[in-house]
Amino acid sequence: MTGRVAVLCIIVLLFLNGGEGIVFSADAMTIQILLDKGFYHPGEDVQITVHAGSGARVEARVLSLNTAVTTFSAVLSEGQAVLRWTPPPDAPRGYGLSVDVLNENGQVLATDSSAFDVLNRWIEAPRYGFLTDFSPAHLTLAPTLDWMLRHHINGVQFYDWQYRWEDLLPDTDRFEDGLGRPQSMATVRRLIDLLHTGNIAAMPYTAIYGASYAFYRQHESWAMFDARGEAYTFGDNLIGIMDPTPGSAWNTHLLGEFADVLDHTVFDGIHVDQYGSPKTGFDSAGNPIRLDEVMPQFIQQTAELVQNRRGDAGVTLFNCVGNWPIETVAPAPQDASYIEVWSPYNDYLDLNRIITNAQRLGGEKPVILAAYIPPERVINWRLANAVIAASGAFHLETGEPGTMLADPYFPRFGHIAEGDQAAFRRFYDFVVRYENVLSVGTTAADSDRHAAIRVGDVRMRGIRAQNRAVAIVRSGANFETFNLINFLDIEGSDWNAPTTAAPRPLTDLPVQITISRPVKNVWIASPDDPQTMNAASVPFTVADGILSFQLPHLNYWNMIVVEIEDGH
């Protein structure tokens, strides 16, 4: 699907009473829902545009978790209706949106859903995306914003936008970057402005110690050296590795470049990368350098600079490549823990372990994972996304229209098949709609709570994900969220090894959860199917400390929310 044009795919007509009456199937027509922002600040109006191939009016329901908040409607004119609503100022708060298209007789022709949220800052629930095309020829910008808004992206990394790693802003509008790609600062500025119209933050990619080889040769004493006294380089002498120690010549130079960027663009902060190696070295005088100690110091310097230039709205991010050095970087004054996942973190459950560890070390800051999965590996990204979201984190994986990150060099992205885009969009709707029981305001439950749930005779225990159902549990104020993720019959548990066998679907599952507090309500939801997006209460019983109920289905991921009576 492209743009905002709604396509009438097929109309199923059922003739009743000898053909005198016509009933329209609710699945007969495709509609499109588009929000005007990636997120909303408290007090901002939400504008919802609905496109439909036919119909007289649209009716929208807003839901907060499992509770209906309001209903409003608008007339369809020339296939379009625009609805506006001002949410309560509570933040952070996610909302579901269910839209019906009706004919003049009030019959439902089509139904679709979406979501939106109210946040104080985008980084509270960071749906982080990416852009890589800053060429002078990049003139058609509307599809970029359209794709991001449909997936609720609220922050974007501008990857390799700069002139050189050591000289970020060019002297001329048109230039070639360090890899010879044609670029334009006019395009960069247009994209930043475009994103800002949708409340989407723009973050410039930078590297803590990367400099062009030519710059390194001009400043060899600024470099980092190995034990033999040879300077570290990266990419077959493409980049020189410089010494970022606070007070060093390179450190002073790079922070000056950051200040220049913030002073002469409207970027919303600084995103800092590293390459994962080296981890130690020496300066030109032979003094040892421990990057696990230097990196948090550099983050502190960058965060102070961003605060000075952008105030509380500014954001500082730093890449822990291979989850290193998360122990020292997570507590540093960055706004979220950003982790690029590499071996040996190969199992699906390693993603959960990385996330919960970073949350613990970072004082429950948001966590963003960069885990590169080719879009044709649909089973992999559906399972990986389920684990990441169920763990309360976020996945950097899309941005350029129709794409998914497939490689650490972002321009080597892949394209999501059109037939897979509906499931992809539902996932993003789901994590926004249910963020208050998945991520914001929740913490990883104690280990005993993961063992508190039993699902019939389904295998639940194990260190690896393969051939079992995995329970990931989040705790919040007066609720517990039990996420069940299905790994039955998949070939392996490596999140990035090609997987061709989808999980074996399960139905009518008896669930038992050990509890110690009185239960108020139990409800379920899943992004696996359009019909399961809405929260549905399930009948339950409690006897001898065991909560029992029936789970209708488990395909990829089903979320179970157990609400506790107030005051317990």
DSSP-derived pairing of the beta strands 80-85 and 288-290: unpaired
H and E: helices and strands count for the chain: 11, 36
pLDDT at 137: 87
Residue type, 70: T
pLDDT tens-digit readout, 202-240: 999 999 999 999 999 999 999 999 999 999 999 888 999
pLDDT confidence tier of residue 567, bands split at 50, 70 and 90: low
**Is pLDDT at 463 greater than 80 in this prediction?**
yes
Rounded to whole angstroms, how far apart are CA atoms 46 and 37? 8
Under DSSP, the state recorded for 167 is: -
Mean pLDDT, residues 403-416: 97
| pLDDT confidence band for 140 (50 / 70 / 90) | confident
d(CA 255, CA 261): 10
Q: What is the mean pLDDT of residues 121-138?
A: 96
What domains appear along the chain, each with residue ranges and CATH number?
13-118 (2.60.40.10), 122-438 (3.20.20.80), 443-564 (2.60.40.1180)
Encode pLDDT of 269-295 as tens digits.
999 999 999 999 999 999 999 999 999
Mean pLDDT within 155-163: 97
**Bridge partners for 537 per DSSP:** 523
Q: Which amino acid is at 247?
A: G
Count the neighbouring beta carbons within 10 Å of the beta carbon of residue 49.
Answer: 16
Q: Token pair of 406, please?
A: 């497939």
- Mean local confidence (pLDDT), 407-423: 97
Q: Can you give the pLDDT at residue 4?
A: 29
**What's the confidence (pLDDT) of residue 568?**
61
Q: Taking 80 as the threshold, does the pLDDT of residue 97 lie above it?
A: yes
531 CB neighbour count, 10 Å cutoff: 9
Mean pLDDT of 549-560: 98
Per cent of the chain over pLDDT 90 is 91
Helices 185-197 and 142-150 sit at what angle, rounded to 10 degrees? 40
φ, ψ of residue 519 to 5 degrees: the values are -95, 130
Residues in the chain: 568
Residue by residue, DSSP assigns 189-242 as HHHHHHHHHTT-EEEEEEESSEEEHHHHHHTGGGB-B-TTSPBPEETTTTEEEB
| Rounded average pLDDT over 59-63 | 97
DSSP 364-399: S--EEEE----TT-HHHHHHHHHHHHHTT-EE----
pLDDT tens-digit map of 108-119: 999 999 999 999
**Residue 462: band (very low, low, confident or very high) from pLDDT cuts 50, 70, 90:** confident
The total of other beta-carbon atoms located within 10 Å of residue 490's CB is: 21
* Candidate from 132-141, 200-209, 323-332, 405-414 with smallest mean pLDDT: 132-141
- Per-residue pLDDT band at 21 (split at 50, 70, 90): very low
∠ Cα 36 46 34 (to 5°): 35
What is the predicted pLDDT for the residue at 447? Answer: 86
Buried b (16+ CB within 10 A) or exposed e, 142-167: eebbbbbbbbbbbbbbbbbbbbbbbb
Q: Quick check: 141 pLDDT over 90?
A: no
pLDDT at residue 161 tops 60:
yes
According to DSSP, the residues that pair with 463 across neighbouring strands are: none
Confirm if 21 and 13 have CB atoms less than 8 A apart: no
Chain segment 467-521, per-residue pLDDT in tens: 999 999 999 999 999 999 999 999 899 999 999 999 999 999 999 999 999 999 9
The mean pLDDT value of the chain amounts to 93
- Specify the higher pLDDT residue, 375 or 17: 375
Mean pLDDT of 30-35: 92
Average pLDDT of the residues in 537-554 = 97
Q: What's residue 14's pLDDT?
A: 28
